[in-house]
Structure 1
Amino acid sequence: MSENQIQMQQLIETLKHDLPTLFEKDISYDIYSQDIYFKDPVNTFKGKFNYRIIFWTLRFHAKLFFKEIYFDVHEVSQIEENLIIAKWTVRGILRLPWKTELLFNGDSNYKLNHDRLIYEHIDRWDRRPGEILKQFLPQKK
């Protein structure tokens, strides 16, 4: 196995370890470049400091707004020489007087630089943010 293949396997294993618990504890930041670019349907920013803040914010909001919340990882795999994809589902139960469940699917694309660090993280969701927020409202019977 080449050095690049070993590094790729280590990255994949780190993501498989970190992602399922991202709402509970911090992730490993040593696999990301200082100038990491992040984009999802509601956020866009650059820099490891901002990247750390987004994960802190996710944990904070998870504890504040949810009775239960899960980040189910279905697959983490290399799809090109310098590209890893993670497929996942977010599901949870909000702290509201009515029974409100959150559920949406997505994927994360991680691009690697020549140092084998992740320099770009792009998330796609299976629905628009407004559709996800509608899940927080009481459901009409």
Structure 2
Amino acid sequence: MDERSQVELVIETLKQDLPTLFEKDISYDIYTQDIYFRDPVNKFKGKTNYRIIFWTLRFHARLFFTQIYFDLHDVYQSAENIILATWTVRGVLRVPWKAHVFFNGYSTYKLNQDGLIYEHIDTWDRKPSEILQQFFRKGEDT
């Protein structure tokens, strides 16, 4: 597979996987064994840990939310070996006051010479403490 079609495969896989990441597992074929991941609360290396973070997301989504969505806005190649994904996480917490959680972010994926993702950095539009504060606000009845 040539370099261009490998990048297209990675983009297509991300477009398929990300919108349902709270419901079902993603495909790990597009990541290296020593994938490095960082977001505002986690930092680790290795595909096993990467699998665990996605399992944890699904587990917590089912446990703490009555509704949760990962709205994928765009996935595109921003530079030769970089893919960007822009997204919004929104949900309703499983609490009597139906608190709403909402934040935007983007994921930066770096590809190695084989076209596999070796680095995934998530950036959020607010601090984790600000997101946590949303847990305690009353949501609108829906």
The normalised TM-score by structure 2 is 0.95
Q: Which residue of 2 aligns with 1:4?
A: 3
RMSD: 0.9
Residues 14-57 of structure 1: CA deviation (Å, up to 9, x unaligned)? 00000000000000001000000000000000000000000000
Q: Which residue of 1 aligns with 2:36?
A: 37
The normalised TM-score by structure 1 is 0.96
- Structure 1 segments of 4 or more deviating over 2 A? none
Q: Which residue of 2 aligns with 1:13?
A: 12
AA of the residue aligned to 2:30: I
SS of residue paired to 1:136 = helix
1:26 paired with 2:30, answer: no
Output the CA distance in 1 between the equivalents of 2:135 and 2:43. Answer: 24
List gaps (5 residues or longer) in structure 2. none
Output the CA distance in 2 between the equivalents of 1:127 and 1:68. Answer: 21
Deviation, 1:123, is: 0.2
AA of the residue aligned to 1:54: I
List gaps (5 residues or longer) in structure 1. none
Output the CA distance in 2 between the equivalents of 1:60 and 1:77. Answer: 29
Deviation, 1:138, is: 3.2
Deviation, 1:99, is: 2.4
Identity over aligned pairs, percent: 70
AA of the residue aligned to 2:11: I
Output the CA distance in 2 between the equivalents of 1:117 and 1:39. Answer: 17
Provide the aligned length of Structure 1 versus Structure 2: 138
